[in-house]
Amino acid sequence: MKFIPLGKTGIQLSAVIMGTWQAGKSMWAGIEDDETERAMAAAFDAGITTFDTATVYGDGHSEKIVGKALRQVRQQVVIATKVFAHALAYEKVFKACHKSLRDLDTDYIDLYQIHWPAGSFGSKEVPVEETMRALSELKAQGKIRAVGVSNFSREQIIAAEAFGAVDSYQPPYSLFWRHMEETAIAYCREKGITVLAYSPMAQGILTGKFGKEPKFEKGDHRSKNILFQPEHYDRIQRALAALQPIADRNNLTLGQLALAWVIAGKGTCAIAGARNADQAVQNAKAGTVTLPPEELAEMDRIGRTVTDHLGNDPVMWQW
């Protein structure tokens, strides 16, 4: 497994991070706690040492599962969680952090991230200075070790940096979703802020498993993903067909190829979810791969046959 420094903190992140949105069950279908715990154990055994969650994933349920699954190896792993947009006022940040500490069954959080900027989803506008002041105090108290932001624009990252160190940035980023690449991601790579790419397999599209007509169980939020809509999906199928020979040449699945492409970016980790132990082990393999420059260039060209036709909205879902 490759490891990526978390900003200037000295903390090392596994290049493949296990994402646990699905562990919260809300907005997903067919998720079982026992299987999720087995997947986390398999991920750790396969070399993944970093796990990403959020309080909003099932109102703490994901954090509870993460805490339970990793209790015996807590000192050997990095746990990242997030405070949601409705809890960014000074006192609310402390309250949210303490809840996460309880749910995770730990006395410190390695990376605490602002999940969405204040004002998102109808939340109250809160000056970023107020939120960063609370995060800085939590860091001074030893309750968190590092601070990150998620779903921010370049300008919002710069604004947050004026009031404290920002160690990581978490955007949606994949071969088929590159909205922030030339702005926020480019800025972070220049400044040494680690990029934690979420949905690096475009919520499963880049695995090729959905076939010509994707079908979802009731309650699965992916049905609202822009990439699954008919105006883009046929184009995506052609791109996947073009990517398959590259995967074959490198003895990788399409999903592993997609993760390896993300990790090839400077200072970038890929957050990959897993429903079961086998998926976790398959994801981990991508963290050991180095793709040749010519393969990366070919993938870039293929990916742009999809991304060049997307709109300008950086939010991946039509909620």
pTM for the full predicted model: 0.94
Q: Nearest-CA neighbor of 98 among 65, 71, 63?
A: 63
One DSSP character per residue, 282-311 reads HHHHGGG----HHHHHHHHHHHHHHHTTS-
Q: Which residues pair with 50 in a beta bridge?
A: 78
Domain annotation for the chain: domains and CATH numbers? 3-307 (3.20.20.100)
**What's the pLDDT tens digit per position in 61-87?**
999 999 999 999 999 999 999 999 999
Residue 280, pLDDT score:
97
Confidence of residue 319 (pLDDT cuts 50, 70, 90): low
**What's the pLDDT tens digit per position in 212-267?**
777 777 778 788 888 888 888 899 999 999 999 999 999 999 999 999 999 999 99
- The pair of three-digit structure tokens given for residue 262, joined into one six-digit string: 């993300």
Residue 312, pLDDT score:
82
**What's the pLDDT tens digit per position in 97-123?**
999 999 999 999 999 999 999 999 999
Residue 209, pLDDT score:
87
Residue 318, pLDDT score:
75
Mean pLDDT of 285-289: 97
**What's the pLDDT tens digit per position in 180-225?**
999 999 999 999 999 999 999 998 899 998 877 777 777 787 888 8
Q: Is 187 a catalytic residue?
A: no
User: Tokens 């200072």, residue?
Assistant: 267
Catalytic one of 57, 112, 169, 173: 57
